[in-house]
Amino acid sequence: MSDIADVIVVGAGLAGLVATYELTRAGRRVVIVDQENRANLGGQAYWAEGGLFLVDSPEQRRAGIRDSHGLALNDWLSSAEFDRDREDRWARRWAEAYVGFAAGDKRSYLYGLGLRLVPIVGWAERGVGAATGHGNSVPRFHYTWGAGPEVVRTFRNPVLAAASRGLVTFKHRHRVDELVVEKGTVVGVRGAVLVPSQAPRGVPSSREEVGKFELRAQAVLVTSGGMGGNHDMVREHWPTDRLGPVPKSMLSGVPAHVDGHMLRVTERAGGSVVNLDRMWHYTEGLKNWSPVWPRHGVRIIPGPSPLWLDAAGRRLPPPLFPSHASRHTLRHLRLTGYDHSWFIMTQSILDKEFALSGSEQNPDLTGKNCPQMILRLKKSAMPTIRAFLEHGEDIVIRRTLPELVDAMNTLTPETPLEYDRVRHEATAHDRQVANDYCKDMQLMSVRNARAYLPERVLRIAPPHRLLDPDHGPLIGARLHLMTRKTLGGVQTTLDSQVVRPDGEVFDGLYAAGEAAGFGGGGVHGYNALEGAFLGGCVFSGRSAGRALARDLA
């Protein structure tokens, strides 16, 4: 059908690179179409911290973690809460397959391509405090040595090598606006050629059109990402019944080109797009003092110790503690009627627990710099964190609580905190620290987490009084809602083939990565367990590439 390619891949992110790698291994010809320039090859994955969800790994076993496929699958399904017959039909099967991948050959597949892991496993999304509820029962967040850029490199380099052999053609600055459908089969794409751009990675580019194009192939694979950079689309699908009122203001955890455009294009063509009301946004966003894209936010990856207050100064209730249950916390904060909340920390907490998400905020991991890794023992010594403490508009540092509350109120004069309310919450917390046992569930969680040696040594501060001057000064951090991941998307079979709303297979059309809800139209259900977004792109991209390589003429 084409003298250019067997498959058109729409989107040059991680899933598209993985699928292209698998296709070229089989000798297939691929054309990669992307609306951004070459600088953005690898998409969102480049900006990621590089966490991978693995089950019963050598890294876990060396740390004394007892994990298993059964425990992980129970955690996943309990977190996903699948409850929709049609929309979750394939998502549930993808979930079972993905956990099997994470407990099976995921690590060996990536290791075989040269990817390596840091020998410390982190504990993210600790959950709601119930064995049958949301959350990771054990640490499963495996840090990639080299972070997101290294994950991208793992697949980018062989794809570029295939391009040098003539198997891959890149069509940058080509925006797909229509899937070409003939006799019920997708046979190509049409769209606009955009004006050339020299913008650096992540920086918004012009949408000025300078021409039209049409490409044809045996199949089209959509790997164009989600909608987190398109706040209008996020608000359009915001589930007020589950997450509360639509926010008036949000930060963006992804570049502006993550705009959901291909989700709409695919739906117009007749593909089933489901579960877009399932979203994974963070409530711990800081305004980036040195932004790359509009409303650029950076997430605090919190340890469990900060005192978390809503905009009125009320402490969040159990189990809504830092690092525990993102979606449940988001709902609670939205129902307060405010778009911000607060962390209060001591210097001791900051030095152990204050971490920032993203490859650019973790130069030690990203640059594979062992001497810099030592600075993690004292987080405030890390240059990127020092920069936020010195330049970030959302952080204030003072010696005493009255001074801190005054400084916090200068940031939000329209919603001032009452000092007596904040003092009451801090004092109540401090009374619980006097003994090794207490009724405060957050402190119970801190002590439980510190039973895991790597967390005790590297990540979590010993319990102490917030108002103890020996642990000062005090730090207040204003937190914003920050968009991140689209958990729903194009519904697909286990071979990544798109289905129609009636459940029939849509011939010639495939989808993978975030555009497919990381598989099946929403492999995570309502809640993510973290470390599975990059892995979902790898798994679904691999599935798509292998299925296409096998089944095409």
**Domain check: are 432 and 530 in the same one?**
no
**Of 456, 482, 508, which closes a domain?**
482
Strands (E), 101-160: 117-122, 141-144
Confidence of residue 175 (pLDDT cuts 50, 70, 90): very high
**Domain check: are 456 and 541 in the same one?**
no
Within a domain: 274 = no
For the chain, what percent of residues have pLDDT higher than 70?
99
**Domain check: are 397 and 491 in the same one?**
no
- Torsion region of 106: left, alpha or beta (phi above 0 gives left; psi -120 to 50 gives alpha): alpha
Tens-place pLDDT, residues 299-339: 999 899 999 999 999 999 999 999 999 999 999 999 999 99
**Domain check: are 46 and 108 in the same one?**
yes
Q: State the average pLDDT over residues 496-523.
A: 98
The pLDDT value given to residue 266: 98
Within a domain: 505 = yes
* Number of domains comprising the chain: 2
In one-letter notation, the amino acid at residue 102 is A
Residue 1 has pLDDT above 50, yes or no: no
Q: For the full predicted model, state whether its pTM sits above 0.95.
A: yes
**Domain check: are 210 and 326 in the same one?**
no
Tens-place pLDDT, residues 268-299: 999 999 999 999 999 999 999 999 999 999 99
**Of 451, 482, 513, which closes a domain?**
482
Confidence of residue 4 (pLDDT cuts 50, 70, 90): confident
**Domain check: are 403 and 433 in the same one?**
yes
Within a domain: 25 = yes
**Domain check: are 345 and 369 in the same one?**
yes
The pLDDT value given to residue 461: 97
Residue 53 has pLDDT above 90, yes or no: yes
The pLDDT value given to residue 2: 56
**Domain check: are 512 and 466 in the same one?**
no
Tens-place pLDDT, residues 98-122: 999 999 999 999 999 999 999 999 9
- Torsion region of 352: left, alpha or beta (phi above 0 gives left; psi -120 to 50 gives alpha): alpha
What CATH number is associated with residue 335?
3.90.700.10
Concatenated DSSP letters for 260-293? -HHHHHHHHHT--EE-TT-EEEEEEEEE-SS-SS
**Domain check: are 297 and 418 in the same one?**
yes
- The owner of tokens 């989600």 is 226
Within a domain: 236 = no
Which residue from 518, 517, 515, 490 is spatially nearest to 505, judged by alpha carbons? 490
**Domain check: are 478 and 525 in the same one?**
no
Within a domain: 190 = yes
What CATH number is associated with residue 73?
3.50.50.60
Give residue 67's domain range: 7-225+487-552
Confidence of residue 3 (pLDDT cuts 50, 70, 90): low
**Domain check: are 463 and 529 in the same one?**
no
In this structure, are residues 18 and 537 in contact, taking their beta carbons and an 8 Å threshold?
yes
**Domain check: are 433 and 469 in the same one?**
yes
Within a domain: 271 = no
Within a domain: 76 = yes
Confidence of residue 232 (pLDDT cuts 50, 70, 90): very high
Q: Using CA of residue 194, residue 197, residue 201, residue 203, what is the dihedral sign?
A: negative
Within a domain: 391 = yes
Distance from C-alpha of 479 to C-alpha of 174, rounded to nearest angstrom: 37
Tens-place pLDDT, residues 412-468: 999 999 999 999 999 999 999 999 999 999 999 999 999 999 999 999 999 999 999
Tens-place pLDDT, residues 355-410: 999 999 999 999 999 999 998 989 999 999 999 999 999 999 999 999 999 999 99
**Of 431, 459, 482, which closes a domain?**
482
